[in-house]
Amino acid sequence: MRKFFFLVLMAAVALRIAAAEQVRLTADAPDVVVSGDQFRLVFTVNSQDIKDFRAPSVSGFDVLMGPSRSQQRSVQIINGKRMSNSSTAFTYILMAGKEGTYTIPAASVEVNGKKVFSEAIQIKVLPPDNAGNSAGSGGSGSSSSSRSQVAGSRITNEDLFITATASKTTVHEQEAILLTYKVYTLVNLRQLYGKMPDLKGFHTQEVELPQQKTFSLEHYKGRNYNTTVWSQYVLFPQQTGKLEIPSITFEGVVAQQTISDDPFDAFFNGGGYIEVKKKIVTPKVTINVAPLPSKPAGFSGAVGDFKLTSSINSTDVKTNDAVTVKLVLSGTGNMKLVSVPEISFPQDFEVYDPKTTDNTKLTASGLSGSKTFEYLVIPRHAGEFKIPAVEFTYFDLKSDSYKTLKTEEYTVNVAKGKGNAEQVISDFTNKESVKLLAKDIRFIKLGDTSARPKGMFFFGTFAYWLWYLVPLALFVAFVIICRKQAKENANVAKMKTRKANKVAARRMKQAGKLLAENKKNEFYDEVLKALWGYISDKLSIPVSQLSKDNIEMKLSGYGVSENLVKEFIDTLNECEFARYAPGNENEAMDKVYHAAVGIISKMENSIKH
């Protein structure tokens, strides 16, 4: 029982602590304001059961109003589950004073008997705009507002421009440079188009920035501009001397306000906007690239600040067991251009291509992070082997000198394992030819072999001449068959006669499908085409010259009996009559179908050529 009450008590305490931890007091204000501007400072707590709110002392700002208290509650029902949220806000209206950076300390409030504190925030105050029209004026405290222009106003290079700045202009070869394109605007910039050209002499990588740009206020050359970093690139110089980053032409789309002639429309609707295009040309940037000092042996081309560590999964293994040696290169620099470190494994080891894992990210100083190289090797013979240390030489930018990193050496004890070790292996690491290890002779071929008397050749034997005669005989037979086929195909009438039954059978097959689909008119048309087409092809007489009146004479000339001719004509009449006769349509169509198939079969056996 004691344990039960203890658990209930602990659960209640935990729930109370969790509820207290979920209560938050936040402070919200613009990051940058202009001297003389008014803005809001809002403290919000996500609870209404509060008391004893204590505001911080504010220096550098004049308090015009506040605190004004407001409460808000919302209820949501999702899938039958009711959720409610409530909050209390304390709002101050402040006016910025002298320029500088000021800190507003934390505020506090008591919730459920516990003190909750907000985070301290910093606000930067900019001097007033020299032109007397601040880019962020308006009293709202918004850091992304822009001055509206009247349609037709000229957009100068001081109203909208882009700067190109390099973090360094004098560097060593392969040293990282951060190139930044920053937009400055006093107008309502809606869109911006521009593309970075291919830079000669540099290896370029673009820094990923948010697609949705956020503007902030910045005092630049006496004016307060809305600014944002448009794009950034990390450059690695591949050549020495003076390298130039050319200027880029951007195209900006600026919204200008139109003023209506109707005063009522201008008052209530504020007029409309038109979009004006503005070309923006960035300045050129010149980079002075100094060559690296005399390069020592084993220099891999790495420039920056690096560390190298190594590890091995086991030093006591058996033959044919896998051994993994791992190298980890970490630091900051031109890591993408660094070649894979090579390890000189013993020739008794079978070496596979290393696996490379890249865990780097792009920073202003270059690629930062680590690259892991894993080597998988398999020892094929027993014994004691040494894996030598790996040396990595790079140019250190801090000391302006070369440094060599060295890993530890490993001794691997290989015991004899189960099965026979391979006698011949390929050294994949050094790309050398097959080597014989621990043996001075090659394997002797085992199994049955066929012997042949010395001097016996295939030339002149019966099989030799047969390889000539058989293809020649096949070729002659092929020519004879093709000539005969071509001669028969030349007689069009004869070919039509031979194929008459096939054509009629194909049409009757189509008629059978129409019968199954109960398509009456199409069925009878197909049956008539089959009957008349068969007689036309079989007798080599065009359909236009055949009729019921002369068909008896035509068929009699080919040896067809009078009864069979009469049966054929009766079938034609029955087909034409059944189409329009009343009664059971399916039964009539089925009767015509079988009659037509039967008469074509009888005609095929009776017509003589």
Asked whether the beta carbons of 355 and 374 are under 8 A apart, the reply is yes
| pLDDT attached to residue 145 | 44
Q: Report d(CA 338, CA 392) in Å as an integer.
A: 10
Amino acid type, 541: I
Q: Report d(CA 279, CA 293) in Å as an integer.
A: 44
Q: Report d(CA 406, CA 543) in Å as an integer.
A: 98
Q: What pLDDT, in 10s, does the model give residues 294-330?
A: 888 878 788 988 999 999 998 899 888 889 999 999 9
Asked whether the beta carbons of 257 and 276 are under 8 A apart, the reply is no
Supply the DSSP string of 362-401, one letter for each residue.
EETTEEEEEEEEEEEEEE-S-EEEEEPPPEEEEEETTTTE
Among the listed residues 303, 418, 363, the one whose alpha carbon sits nearest the alpha carbon of residue 178: 363
Quick one: average pLDDT of 333-359? 85
Q: Report d(CA 603, CA 596) in Å as an integer.
A: 11
- For 153, the 3-state DSSP assignment is coil
Asked whether the whole model's pTM tops 0.75, one would answer no
Amino acid type, 108: S
Q: What pLDDT, in 10s, does the model give residues 371-408?
A: 999 999 999 888 899 999 998 888 988 888 898 889 98
In which band, very low, low, confident or very high, does the pLDDT at 139 lie, cut at 50, 70 and 90?
very low
Contacts by residues 355-360 (CB-CB < 8 Å, ≥ 24 positions apart): 360/335, 360/336
Q: Can you read off the two tokens belonging to residue 440?
A: 């001075």
Angle ∠(521,527,528) on CA atoms, nearest 5? 90
Among the listed residues 179, 168, 45, the one whose alpha carbon sits nearest the alpha carbon of residue 116: 45
Which residues, other chains included, contact 380 with Cβ-Cβ below 8 Å and sequence gap of 6+? 319, 320, 348, 349, 350, 421, 422, 425, 437
Q: Report d(CA 107, CA 425) in Å as an integer.
A: 75
Among the listed residues 305, 330, 308, 296, the one whose alpha carbon sits nearest the alpha carbon of residue 176: 305
| pLDDT attached to residue 242 | 92
| pLDDT attached to residue 424 | 43
| pLDDT attached to residue 556 | 75
| pLDDT attached to residue 447 | 64
Q: What pLDDT, in 10s, does the model give residues 153-184?
A: 788 888 899 999 998 899 998 889 999 999 99
Give the residue, 164 or 4, on which the prediction is more confident. Answer: 164
Using a 10 angstrom Cβ sphere, with 0-12 exposed, 13-18 middle and 19 or more buried, the burial of residue 174 is: buried
Q: What pLDDT, in 10s, does the model give residues 74-104?
A: 777 777 677 777 788 889 898 888 888 888 8
Domains of the chain in start order, with CATH, are 23-126 (2.60.40.680), 149-290 (2.60.40), 299-436 (2.60.40), 493-606 (1.20.120)
Which residues, other chains included, contact 334 with Cβ-Cβ below 8 Å and sequence gap of 6+? 174, 176, 203, 236, 301, 302, 303, 304, 366, 367
In which band, very low, low, confident or very high, does the pLDDT at 413 lie, cut at 50, 70 and 90?
very high
Residue 230 is given by DSSP the state E
Q: Report d(CA 29, CA 300) in Å as an integer.
A: 51
In Å, the largest CA–CA distance within the chain is 127
Q: Does the pLDDT at position 534 exceed 50?
A: yes
**What percentage of the chain has pLDDT greater than the value 70?**
79
Lowest mean pLDDT among 43-57, 313-327, 454-468, 491-505: 491-505
Q: Report d(CA 370, CA 328) in Å as an integer.
A: 7
Give the residue, 494 or 235, on which the prediction is more confident. Answer: 235
